[in-house]
Amino acid sequence: MMNKIPGTKILAATLLLLLPSVAAAQDALSGANTAWILTSTALVLFMTLPGLALFYGGLVRTRNVLSVLMQCFAIAVVVSILWLVVGYSIAFGPAESAYWGGLSKVMFSGVVLDSLSGDIPETVFASFQMTFAIITPALIVGAFAERIKFSAMLLFSALWTLIVYFPVANWVWGGGWLGQMGLIDFAGGTVVHVTAGIGALVFAVVIGQREGFPTTPMMPHNLTMSFTGAGMLWVGWFGFNAGSALAADGSAGMAMFVTHISAATGALTWMIIEWIKYGKPSGLGAITGMVAGLATITPASGSVGPAGALVVGLSGGVICYFATTYLKQKVKIDDSLDVFPVHGVGGIVGTLLAGVLVSGNLGIFSGNGLAEGMTVGSQLVVQIIGVLSVAAYTGMLTFLLLKLVGAVTSGIRVTQEEEQMGLDITDHDEKGYSM
């Protein structure tokens, strides 16, 4: 019996020596963070399908509702395949340059069961980022609703995502040149909203106005549907912003809270403006203001505190409201569902405000603090460079792609007769409603 004691002690000592390495292996993968990003991935996809689809679907006329739902659905399908084949590699592959991630991860090469991105599985990270790639071109649907060929829409969306979205995602989030400069874009002010907004503006100008715009009223056919979609967008946006922390921690909690505050402030601001101007607040205005608040807080959601979120939401509500009325009433650009004035302008405003409100010297409006060596002025310069470069690149490539797609598909727009019949019938030989 006594002879067994030394052996037991040796075994115990050996186990103690091994325990740190065992613990380290277990800690390399965070179950909590993985669970949260899995949830966030589902939430962001929920924003597109069904959130954005229902939001847009209710805003068009009855004869085009199915076409808008189909466009959002088809974009999700095509972009998912593109992401597998080449998108993830371009956006997040090992940096071959400051402008794209290369082709080393084509078809998810090297992404295996045990691959990690930080402390979550690489497959989870890739899936989360894929949902951002899906919703960005889907946002542009609102600019050309009710007058585009389905074939032209699908080809444009695929090429645009490949040539515009994937590289810009690398510039900002994949180790590219804007990220190296220190651009603050926590969840997509430039990557998602500036690209989609500028793309929508160029598209609306190129494709032209709907028949009857702006003299013929083109009221939403089903605001109940749009309210339902708006509610889904609000909830899904928590995955969009809080999920971008890539961890179940205080940063995610703050991002979720400021996202909610900005959305509420944007909605209230839009309602008050309409109340003052027209005597009554509209439901359409309320949900549009909410989306404006969400778009504006997106780049700043990892940088500002609750008081700062009030400033962001108020700014987004006011500026996006007047941008919307100016674009339609003064310039008469038929961005059908206000993609540029809400998402584009909101993304720009939020990106610039992030460079100011991140400062830790603003009292109750202080954010997380500037990076070492940065001042508010230098950070704002970086933010401006980020906005201008992404806007210029997106605008130029969108215009060239539209010309290319138009040549391939014999024009991107349906005929006048088809537009009057509605795209549900002409594109899909179906109706959204049986009566």
The string of pLDDT tens digits covering residues 54-79 is 999 999 999 999 999 999 999 999 99
**What pLDDT score does 27 carry?**
52
> Which domains occur in the chain, in start order?
32-428 (1.10.3430.10)
What pLDDT digit, counting tens, does each position of 148-185 carry? 999 999 999 999 999 999 999 999 999 999 999 999 99
> What is the C-alpha separation between 263 and 123, in angstroms, rounded?
31
Give the Cα separation of 101 and 96 in Å (integer): 6
What's the pLDDT score for residue 435?
67
Q: What percent of the chain has pLDDT over 90?
A: 92
**148: Cβ–Cβ under 8 A, 6 or more apart, which residues?**
207, 412, 413, 414, 423
pLDDT in tens, 260-287: 999 999 999 999 999 999 999 999 999 9
* pLDDT tens digits, 93-142: 997 789 999 999 999 999 999 999 999 999 999 999 999 999 999 999 99
Phi-psi category of residue 363: left, alpha or beta, with phi > 0 → left and psi -120 to 50 → alpha: left
Does residue 116 sit in helix, strand or coil? strand
116: which strand partners?
A: 121
pLDDT of residue 97: 86
Distance, in Å, from the CA atom of 154 to the CA atom of 67, rounded to the nearest integer, reads 12
With cut-offs at 50, 70 and 90, classify the pLDDT of residue 434.
confident
Which helix H or strand E contains 339, and what residues bound it? Answer: helix 339-339
Q: Tell me: the pLDDT tens digits for 193-241?
A: 999 999 999 999 999 999 999 999 899 999 999 999 999 999 999 999 9
Instruction: Look at 368 and 15; give whichever has higher pLDDT.
Output: 368
Closest of 334, 409, 336 to residue 158, by C-alpha = 409
Average pLDDT (13-34) is 60
Determine the straight-line distance between the first and last CA of the chain, rounded to whole angstroms.
90
Higher pLDDT, 4 or 164: 164
Per residue, the 3-state secondary structure of 226-287, as one string, reads HHHHHHHHHHHHHHHHHHHHCCCCHHHHHHHHHHHHHHHHHHHHHHHHHHHHHCCCCHHHHH
